[in-house]
Structure 1
């Protein structure tokens, strides 16, 4: 049976508390939701932090500290700390937690891009917190910055700690950016590519785009140099991940990427999404990879070499 790495992106930095009561906000909620996702079958936990008072994205290591240790004590899952944070954070804030805690993995956006989610504001008339509406509406003017210099700094700084990366590729050009850093010797096999579809500003969620992204990666890197995974935003999540798994890919679910479990139905938890994708891959004759199997496939340093 093929082993499928399931990543769960637990809370993210784009959705806001008004959009779903299930979105984890406090450190206790993030820890509990992560533990439940791991118990459901996720081998990697992709983590952001939020201000526990109002749910706003934060890069504060003190807040990360309040849930990282709990997750490590109660699961064997690979902890993957974001270096994206949110499109409104400066690079230093985005890197603060990863620098301090030296995790096995970090996410790494492979280029600058428009990153927008403002259409979501059209469906909401009352907000829980004052910051939320402006944050969503103003995303039509957001540029997520990751210049070549930024990417090199992240690779060099965190690579010294033995951290490896979830290379987030929102478009075909990001694959070529990754190839550039491989040529510079800053990325080495086996590396992990997260192909991302359906974010406004990135490549669209069309099957032809998935096939083209995969064939481009094969041409640039060779099939044996990398592992690949797919996430799709919003309503495209489960149908697109099913297609990816059929093609031999790994998958990412979680409330960062979609707040729903089915058409028009909000997910009750991250674990519910993990459980659904587990059922889907079981029907294909596949099995979820354990954390140790994921570590072996991705060449990770191990949970005993982190600093939390």
Structure 2
């Protein structure tokens, strides 16, 4: 399939570890809520759905993959979007797996200041503890995951980069023969401990990636945590990339206006991009752009976790 470069892939982070139920009544955490929000986002135009496992009783983050096994088939039955789930399970041969290219601080304790009433007891201590937390991805961690992916040749990796040094880490893995192109890069901006959401950092990311990999050898997507979500992802599309929105990255639809769903953010960015004469990629077109060969595997929905070249 020959595709126009004007096709833009919209990814949607339906939930995520930086936001807790007390921050927004719209944030989904029960099984029924997550399924509904994911399906609505896909119908609004998202070709990739990014999910994080959480306890369906109180929304607390969990590493229990059984939670995802309960969700993904239900979502897959209602949409053909690529589904990205964390924690990743390479042995299930997902379509897309997200792989961080380096360790970084990942603090979101500032959110505590704006909340006076908590829905669940775990939230405040969890947010405060993030000030001492590290989003760990050592070279050994990365190589271990790459080894686990070796037998899942139908799985693509999305290389998540929160700092310029993460691009150099990826370049080192390429030099060692552990990663082959074409590449799919996730430019993650606005997270405390990584590149902030200054527009200049997006230009730095793009120019560094061009120098290390060659512009023709990679696709990239942009996410911006917080209030700069829509302006920065729009800039990313104008610069030739793809976009990610969703309540997992930002709880707002506009200044001071909480989004009622991730689908509302998808519809907003879709309208903006279409008014700029971009076309929104369908799931089938997204698979072609990212060179994902498989559709669904073993009845478990396509899982976006990144693109592996």
Q: 1:307 to 1:181 in 2, by over 3 A?
A: farther
Is 2:8 the partner of 1:17?
Answer: no
Query: How many pairs are equivalent?
Result: 295
Q: Offset at 1:61?
A: 1.9
Please report the TM-score for the alignment, with normalisation by the length of structure 1: 0.93
Q: Offset at 1:301?
A: 2.9
Is 2:205 the partner of 1:213?
Answer: yes
Please report the TM-score for the alignment, with normalisation by the length of structure 2: 0.92
Q: Offset at 1:160?
A: 1.9
Q: 1:226 to 1:168 in 2, by over 3 A?
A: same
Q: What is the distance in 2 between the residues matched to 1:140 and 1:306?
A: 40
Number of the residue aligned with 1:130:
121
1:1-308 mapped onto 2 (5 Å cutoff) = 2-82=6-86, 94-95=87-88, 98-162=89-153, 163-306=155-298, 308=300
Q: Offset at 1:306?
A: 4.9
Q: 1:159 to 1:72 in 2, by over 3 A?
A: farther
> Which is worse superposed, 175-184 or 34-43?
175-184
Q: Offset at 1:159?
A: 3.8
Number of the residue aligned with 2:304:
none
Higher relative contact order (CA 8 A, sep 6+): 2
Residue deviations 1:46-93 (CA, integer Å, cap 9, x gap):
1111101111011212211111001111111011122xxxxxxxxxxx
Q: Offset at 1:38?
A: 0.5
Q: What is the distance in 1 between the residues matched to 2:114 and 2:296?
A: 45
Q: What is the distance in 1 between the residues matched to 2:55 and 2:296?
A: 28
Number of the residue aligned with 2:307:
none
Q: 1:300 to 1:306 in 2, by over 3 A?
A: farther
* Contact persistence 2:91–2:152 (CA under 8 A): no
In structure 2, list runs of 5 or more residues that go unmatched. 301-309
Q: Offset at 1:158?
A: 2.4
In structure 1, list runs of 5 or more residues that go unmatched. 83-93
Q: Offset at 1:304?
A: 3.1
* Contact persistence 1:8–1:42 (CA under 8 A): yes
